[in-house]
Amino acid sequence: MKATVYVTIKQNVLDPQGSAVQGALHSMGFDEVGKVRIGKYLELDMNTTDRAAAEERLKAMCEKLLANTVIEDYRFELEG
Amino acid sequence: MKATVYVTIKQNVLDPQGSAVQGALHSMGFDEVGKVRIGKYLELDMNTTDRAAAEERLKAMCEKLLANTVIEDYRFELEG
């Protein structure tokens, strides 16, 4: 089973990395770019076939390691 | 128009960050996790309404700044 996890910074938290990329894009002439937000994208192979259990385990992984839930949101998708 | 860009490490390139996360998950008891690959996820607001032009510009941004095309792949989606 393949899992895809998206970790994004919460809307009301500053994203300095995104601001830096926005500034760089502007200085390169891409003036149409507005706000930029940067997050993480993870692909995990999971050796399990039980979808409900996998969702439970993935949630635990996100809460404990993959996302800092104070400042970040996460969501995931399961395939296969 | 809102753009979402996914930057991932090419399949045949080592991903030490992914290996570190995999090791950490194993040491926390998540033994069912196999390979982990980590990429970047970007959300961009674009002040344009011309979809074809936006795609062209986004491709240029990815090639020039957002992705290192020697070791990374990218794909993007446009909404709105």
State the ipTM, two decimals.
0.89
Give chain A positions within 8 Å (CB) of B36: 42-45
The one-digit pLDDT tens for each residue of chain B (80 residues) are 999 999 999 999 999 999 999 999 999 999 999 999 999 999 999 999 999 999 999 999 999 999 999 999 999 999 98
**What are the pLDDT digits (tens) for A48-79?**
999 999 999 999 999 999 999 999 999 999 99
For the cut 90, the answer to whether the pLDDT of residue A80 exceeds it is no
Chain B CB contacts of A27 below 8 Å: none
Q: Which residues of A touch B (CB under 8 A)?
A: 6-8, 18, 21, 24-25, 28, 30, 32-48, 54, 57, 60-61, 64-66
Yes or no: say if A9 and B42 are a contact pair by the CB < 8 Å rule.
no
Q: Looking at the 3D structure of chain B, how many domains does it have?
A: 1
Per-residue model confidence (pLDDT) at position A69: 96
Of the candidates A79, A76, A80, the one whose C-alpha atom is nearest the C-alpha of residue A7 is: A76
CB contact under 8 A, A66 and B42: no
The CATH number of the domain holding residue B34 is 3.30.1280.10
pLDDT of residue B68: 97
Residue B60 φ then ψ, to 5°:
-65, -45
Which has the closest alpha carbon to B34: A7, A3, A59? A3
Hey, are the CB atoms on A37 and B42 less than 8 Å from each other? Answer: yes
Give the domain range for residue A45. Answer: 2-79
Q: What is the pLDDT of residue B80?
A: 83
Give the nearest chain B residue to A50 (CA atoms). B32
Q: B27-31 contacts: CB < 8 A, separation 24 or more?
A: B28/A61, B28/A64, B28/A65, B30/A57, B30/A60, B30/A61
Report the distance separating Cα A45 and Cα A38, nearest Å.
Answer: 23
Helix (H) / strand (E) containing A57: helix A51-61
Q: In chain B, which residues touch A (CB < 8 A)?
A: 6-8, 18, 21, 24-25, 28, 30, 32-48, 54, 57, 60-61, 64-66
Task: Considering only CA atoms, give the Rg of chain B.
Answer: 16
Express each pLDDT in A4-39 by its tens digit: 999 999 999 999 999 999 999 999 999 999 999 999
